[in-house]
Structure 1
Amino acid sequence: MDKRVQPEQGLFKTLLEILMVSGRLGFTSFGGPIAHLGYFHDEYIRKRKWMDEKNYADLVALCQFLPGPASSQVGIGMGIMRAGVPGGIVSFLGFTLPSVVALILFALILQGLDVSNAGWIHGLKLVAVAVVAHAIIGMAQKLTPDLKRKAIALLALVITLLWQTAFSQVGMILLSAILGFLIYSRHEAEADSRISFPVKRSLAALCLALLFGLLLLLPVLREMTSIRWIAVFDSFYRSGALVFGGGHVVLPLLEREFVASGWVSKEAFLAGYGAAQAVPGPLFTFASYLGAVMNGWAGGLLATAAIFLPAFLLILGTLPFWDGLRRNPKAKGALMGVNAAVVGILISAFYQPIWTSSILAPADFAFASILFSMLVYWKLPPWIVVLTGALGGTVIALI
């Protein structure tokens, strides 16, 4: 059973709790969106039991299916289910602000510093290897318990590994939903799996209308006016609304929007990408850096709001309808297929780009094994593993 907010707790106390937990995750969650899901699972599900395993898996599947930053949407969803819309906002701020502030400072102060090849960054990549491996093992045990779901996961792994496009993950999720519908359509949902969301359907419909309305209206306003702020907001908003697959996939869209237009130099873009790899939190906060390069700290905040706004509108617009769909036996079967596919997609992402960009020598594999043991067997806090990874990466670079 998920651990819900009790009325007597008080909204302020609950929001403060969400802010403290999400803020700690925002300072320590290195390694990209797949690693973030591992950190979330450890903190929200294993330690605090704010949601049960099946509900978390379904939430991850939903956010993988939606466009936008999947890990940020999972975090927003956790906050909403804990304390309504204010909880979602607080959860987002706690997880996102550390990297937003860091990247705006990079843009204003450290823009010319080359950090892309620093040893401590490589160490953080090795931390990501350990975190993602831990997450995959735990999720695979629960989401692929039988041969049919193992086969779906294997199919997802092969397709997303060999066909690496912006649409491969979405296509595989749709295919696995069909397979799950056909194979598990008679599956009955468990009585204790019900979960309600403190978001009215009228608000959800308004959010979806606003999402698509802005997609249509902003390009028109951009063409009708010469206001630079509208053009910048439109570019970031469309990038956040139309990208599938997480932060790394949005980079080509941002490069086309801002480098090709001459708003940001290629050198500044690449320097910011190196900085984005060095900070925790969502990679979408790379937009904060680009906005700050163009228009200072105010531009950084505008870019952050624009690129994450679609994620908010999508998660608020879909959550109220989600529980009814997934409790339908046929829809439940489709979600079982999707959850199995998510495991395969995670393994695919674990190999490319996490493993291929991190394990470059025997020393890397040995150190990643140590970090994995610290996290899984010795059960040390994630921040100790992160710190050890950064220090160890620096040492490895000097050897």
Structure 2
Amino acid sequence: MKSRLEILWVAAKLGLTSFGGPIAHLGYFHNEYVKRKQWIDDKSYADLVALSQFLPGPASSQVGIGIGMMRAGMWGGLLAFIGFTLPSVLALIAFAALVQTFPIGGAGWLHGLKLVAVAIVAQAIAGMAQKLAPDKSRMTIAVIAAIASLLWQSPFSHVVLIAGAGLAGSLLYTVKETSVPPSFRLPISKIGGAACLFLFFALLVLLPVLSYLFPVEWLVLFDSFYRSGSLVFGGGHVVLPLLEKELVPGGWVSKEMFLEGYGAAQAVPGPLFTFGAYLGAVIGGWPMALLATAAIFLPGFLLIAGALPFWHSIQRFKRVQGAFTGINAAVVGLLLGSFYYPIWTGSVLGPADFGLAALLFCLLVYWKCPPWLVVIAGAAGGAVLSLL
């Protein structure tokens, strides 16, 4: 019980302070789960990130859920999900009622939070590159992945690049990388994992049929949010066109309200998928917000729960170990590409922004300040810069 409460508490702390989107979240997670708590080692964390990048759904949330499952099984994964997600769900339900009355789009503190994300991602890249791309060949894979991700903007580009890096790794590192993967006890059986995978596909097939035969509001919306959560590769931002196509043409939400809510979702910590909570609240208040949140996150939860029990069995093959070596290097490259666009280009708009970002990076890396303190410093610094 104590372990479960600790999972909930640590995840909630991350849910309250993890600004900057899914790439930044991986930096926060690495700092908390790997460096501070030491619940998982660097290689296992990197492999879990790579696995989550392969699967559709909210990658950063799936990493957190996976770590919770490693600690305490399904309950641990559920508590990690609740802790990380609930703060932004509550904030966006409030935004659904207040965002039009109290617009926040041009607030200086909001820009400061974007600069916090610059510092967090820079720290994550520096730390992961040392361990996952320490030689010429792996750094080359990382740089190629970064360049390709910038030049080829597609919902499927990350999946293709990771698959290519895996193929390259299986050919290049079969002999060099032969150590046994780090072992840990996963309190989920392979039967339980297979049941989760079956349920994922069953819902994906049956929900459209049921919503067509029984077109009640809650079922139609559950189907829309579930399918959107099932088809997202490459991070939470990709869910925007899917939800817009599902909800705006049908008149569930106006285009203006949709875009205002998406802007509000950028201002709160936690996963971007909680944008679904805002949309649900606009459509039908807090009950629909909770329904939408459950529907959009459920596919990712089922997939990570289904894949994890088979993870180590697959990794024990030498070529698979080599593939993950290549994939881990590509993940560093994808982080680097995302660091430039959209994080750097959307945040560092002048010398003053660069100075604040550099100061925040110094606080994180050299002064070892906790992330929540850096978030406060970034928000305060952004507010001050807006007055100059």
- Normalising by structure 1, we get a TM-score of 0.96
| Map of 2:292 onto structure 1 | 303
**What is the alpha-carbon distance in structure 2 between the residues aligned to residue 93 and residue 43 of structure 1?**
17
**What is the alpha-carbon distance in structure 2 between the residues aligned to residue 302 and residue 189 of structure 1?**
45
The answer as to whether partners of 2:199 and 2:302 remain within 8 angstroms in 1 is yes
**What is the alpha-carbon distance in structure 2 between the residues aligned to residue 103 and residue 188 of structure 1?**
45
The answer as to whether partners of 2:174 and 2:321 remain within 8 angstroms in 1 is yes
**Equivalent residues in 2 for 1:172-321, closer than 5 Å:** 172-191=161-180, 193-321=182-310
**What is the alpha-carbon distance in structure 2 between the residues aligned to residue 91 and residue 204 of structure 1?**
18
**Equivalent residues in 2 for 1:40-51, closer than 5 Å:** 40-51=29-40
CA drift at 1:110 = 3.3
CA drift at 1:195 = 2.8
**What is the alpha-carbon distance in structure 2 between the residues aligned to residue 208 and residue 192 of structure 1?**
24
The answer as to whether partners of 1:195 and 1:323 remain within 8 angstroms in 2 is no
**Cα-to-partner distance string for 1:128-171 (whole Å, 9 max, x where unaligned):** 00000000000011001111111111111111110010011000
User: What is the one-letter code of the residue matched to 1:148?
Assistant: S
| Map of 2:346 onto structure 1 | 357
The answer as to whether partners of 2:177 and 2:325 remain within 8 angstroms in 1 is no
**What is the alpha-carbon distance in structure 2 between the residues aligned to residue 65 and residue 396 of structure 1?**
40
**What is the alpha-carbon distance in structure 2 between the residues aligned to residue 327 and residue 37 of structure 1?**
25
Which of 100-109 and 135-144 deviates more?
100-109
| Map of 1:3 onto structure 2 | none
| Map of 1:4 onto structure 2 | none
| Map of 1:120 onto structure 2 | 109
CA drift at 1:267 = 1.2
User: What is the one-letter code of the residue matched to 2:304?
Assistant: I
User: What is the one-letter code of the residue matched to 2:318?
Assistant: P
**What is the alpha-carbon distance in structure 2 between the residues aligned to residue 76 and residue 53 of structure 1?**
17
**Equivalent residues in 2 for 1:93-108, closer than 5 Å:** 93-108=82-97
The answer as to whether partners of 1:187 and 1:330 remain within 8 angstroms in 2 is no
- Structure 1 residue 148 and structure 2 residue 137: aligned? yes
SS of residue matched to 1:193: coil
The answer as to whether partners of 1:272 and 1:289 remain within 8 angstroms in 2 is yes
**Equivalent residues in 2 for 1:8-157, closer than 5 Å:** 12-157=1-146
Inter-CA distance 319–372: structure 2 relative to 1 (3 Å threshold) = same
SS of residue matched to 1:51: coil
| Superposition CA RMSD, Å | 1.0
**Cα-to-partner distance string for 1:15-45 (whole Å, 9 max, x where unaligned):** 1111111111111110111111111111111
Inter-CA distance 170–234: structure 2 relative to 1 (3 Å threshold) = same
**What is the alpha-carbon distance in structure 1 between the residues aligned to residue 52 and residue 166 of structure 2?**
14
**What is the alpha-carbon distance in structure 2 between the residues aligned to residue 41 and residue 211 of structure 1?**
28
CA drift at 1:178 = 0.5
**What is the alpha-carbon distance in structure 2 between the residues aligned to residue 359 and residue 192 of structure 1?**
39
SS of residue matched to 1:164: coil
**What is the alpha-carbon distance in structure 1 between the residues aligned to residue 262 and residue 111 of structure 2?**
14
Q: Which runs of 4+ in 1 moved over 4 A?
A: none
User: What is the one-letter code of the residue matched to 1:178?
Assistant: L
What is the percent sequence identity of the aligned residues? 61
**What is the alpha-carbon distance in structure 2 between the residues aligned to residue 114 and residue 323 of structure 1?**
48
The answer as to whether partners of 2:181 and 2:315 remain within 8 angstroms in 1 is no
The answer as to whether partners of 2:181 and 2:316 remain within 8 angstroms in 1 is no
SS of residue matched to 2:39: coil
SS of residue matched to 1:185: coil
**What is the alpha-carbon distance in structure 2 between the residues aligned to residue 352 and residue 306 of structure 1?**
29
CA drift at 1:258 = 0.9
**What is the alpha-carbon distance in structure 2 between the residues aligned to residue 128 and residue 260 of structure 1?**
33
Listed as ranges, the gaps of 5+ residues in structure 1 are 1-11
- Structure 1 residue 379 and structure 2 residue 364: aligned? no
CA drift at 1:274 = 1.5
SS of residue matched to 2:188: coil
Listed as ranges, the gaps of 5+ residues in structure 2 are none
User: What is the one-letter code of the residue matched to 2:324?
Assistant: L
The answer as to whether partners of 1:291 and 1:301 remain within 8 angstroms in 2 is yes
User: What is the one-letter code of the residue matched to 1:184?
Assistant: Y
User: What is the one-letter code of the residue matched to 1:264?
Assistant: V
How many residues end up aligned between the 2 structures?
388
Match of residue 326, structure 1, among 280, 293, 315: 315
**What is the alpha-carbon distance in structure 2 between the residues aligned to residue 252 and residue 283 of structure 1?**
13
The answer as to whether partners of 1:119 and 1:394 remain within 8 angstroms in 2 is yes
| Map of 1:398 onto structure 2 | 387
- Normalising by structure 2, we get a TM-score of 0.98
**Cα-to-partner distance string for 1:223-254 (whole Å, 9 max, x where unaligned):** 11221111100110011011101111111111
